[in-house]
Amino acid sequence: MRDAMAGTDNFDADMQAYARDGAVCLRGAFDQSWVALAQEGIARNIEQPSPLFRNLGSQDGGFLSDIWSRRYISELERFCMESPAAAIAARALQSSKVRLAQDTWFSKLPGASVRTPWHHDTVIEGPFCSIWVALDPTPRTATLEFVRGSHAWGRAMMPRSYFSEEGDAAEQFYTEFHGDATDAVPQDYDQVPDIEANRSAYDIIGWELQPGDCVLFDARTLHGAPGNHLQHPIRRFVTRWITDESVLAPHGKDVIAALAAAGLPADLEVGKPVRGPLFPSITVLP
């Protein structure tokens, strides 16, 4: 069990902003000990990559990531299971019990120009939120961005690149874990509008971040991020959370296949609740 998180000021107001805007920045939600633990875990993970480790970058720089690596890296397991993340998710999802749907991390090395495409996360239907913890100082120009209120649009969308068979490593990654690469996608989803070409038409929000700050967002809020033009890496540790009511979306068969190929078979079925040891449940005390 975990005690509810009470470390940030004005937490009720933050939760109201989360519900209204689809994303909110929680300042100092993770103290330096958690930041250091995640940094250590990522460094060891790079030396000992799991089957799902990827370099999503191009020739101009690395964009490193791994998924479900807490199963192999003890520092990341401890962060997922003992840090304030579960309590934050419980408040956001309004549930005393939450499930860890996924742990992942991203490290954009200096010079990595590849952009995280504008998208929202649709592989889970039902309650679903993400917590991105900053592990490095990140100016507003390099941070994760959101279209305010887009979680309430009531439309399921995929990035334009998902509608093409062509794409770089990053696009292929997002297709595999966020949407189906088959011809059925254009029939089931609208295309994400070309936000970058018309930024002034959207209410785009984001925050300068210091290590220990986190961004909490509804998985259905459109989000994306620029490349890294800084002189240091930009690292983020991410946990994604659901409740017992959340189910695997119709295009989730790609995730099932990816897990099986990586030797991580999961008791998942399309349209059924997410269960099993890969998705541990945590009860949060009020």
**What is the structure's pLDDT at 226?**
86
For the CA atoms of the chain, what is the radius of gyration?
A: 17
Overall pTM surpassing 0.95 (yes/no): no
Q: Is the dihedral of CA 171, 112, 236, 202 positive or negative?
A: negative
Tell me which residue of 174, 189, 187 sits closest to 258, measured CA to CA. Answer: 174
**What is the structure's pLDDT at 178?**
56
Rounded to whole angstroms, how far apart are CA atoms 154 and 82? 34
Per-residue pLDDT of the chain (286 residues; tens, 9 = 90+): 454 444 455 889 999 999 999 999 999 999 999 999 999 999 999 999 999 998 876 555 588 999 999 999 999 999 999 999 999 999 999 999 999 999 999 998 887 777 778 888 888 999 999 999 999 999 999 999 999 999 999 888 877 654 444 445 555 555 555 554 444 455 567 788 899 999 999 999 999 999 999 999 999 999 998 888 888 889 999 999 999 999 998 878 888 888 998 888 788 999 999 999 999 999 997 7
**What is the structure's pLDDT at 6?**
46
Question: What tokens were used for 74?
Answer: 């003890």
**What is the structure's pLDDT at 171?**
54
**What is the structure's pLDDT at 58?**
59
Rounded to whole angstroms, how far apart are CA atoms 3 and 286? 7
**What is the structure's pLDDT at 199?**
95
**What is the structure's pLDDT at 184?**
46
146: Cβ–Cβ under 8 A, 6 or more apart, which residues? Answer: 21, 22, 23, 204, 205, 206, 217, 221, 222, 223
